[in-house]
Amino acid sequence: MLALIQRDLKIRGYVVGQFPNRPLWIALAALLAAGLANSGNRVSDFARAIFYVALAVWAYEEAVHGVNDFRKLLGAVALGLIVVGLARAIG
């Protein structure tokens, strides 16, 4: 079994990103799938749902378990934007 290598993206010693980040990769793949599918069909709708769920999981994990205050703030802001985006889509 291959071991995944954890790499940190740092700016002046401050961690701003970590790889691999599974929920974020899943969200990006779902967004790509939604973009490639015809808008309004079931594949596109399913891919968008997966995108929002995976992005919400990533944002929650960052907000609660982020390695520093920047990452926690990033997660909280992303979670807020997801809620606003979904509220606009529903309403």
How does pLDDT run across 38-84, given as a tens digit for each residue? 877 899 999 999 999 999 999 999 999 988 898 899 999 999 999 99
- For residues 53 and 47, what is the distance between their CA atoms, to the nearest angstrom? 10
* 4 has a pLDDT exceeding 60: no
Pair of tokens at residue 58:
């990533």
- For residues 44 and 31, what is the distance between their CA atoms, to the nearest angstrom? 9
Res 6: pLDDT: 54
Instruction: Report pTM.
Output: 0.79
- For residues 10 and 17, what is the distance between their CA atoms, to the nearest angstrom? 7
- For residues 21 and 74, what is the distance between their CA atoms, to the nearest angstrom? 14
Residue ranges of domains in the chain: 19-90
Confirm if 16 and 7 have CB atoms less than 8 A apart: no
Q: What would the pLDDT profile of 12-30 be if each residue is shown by its tens digit?
A: 777 777 766 899 999 999 9
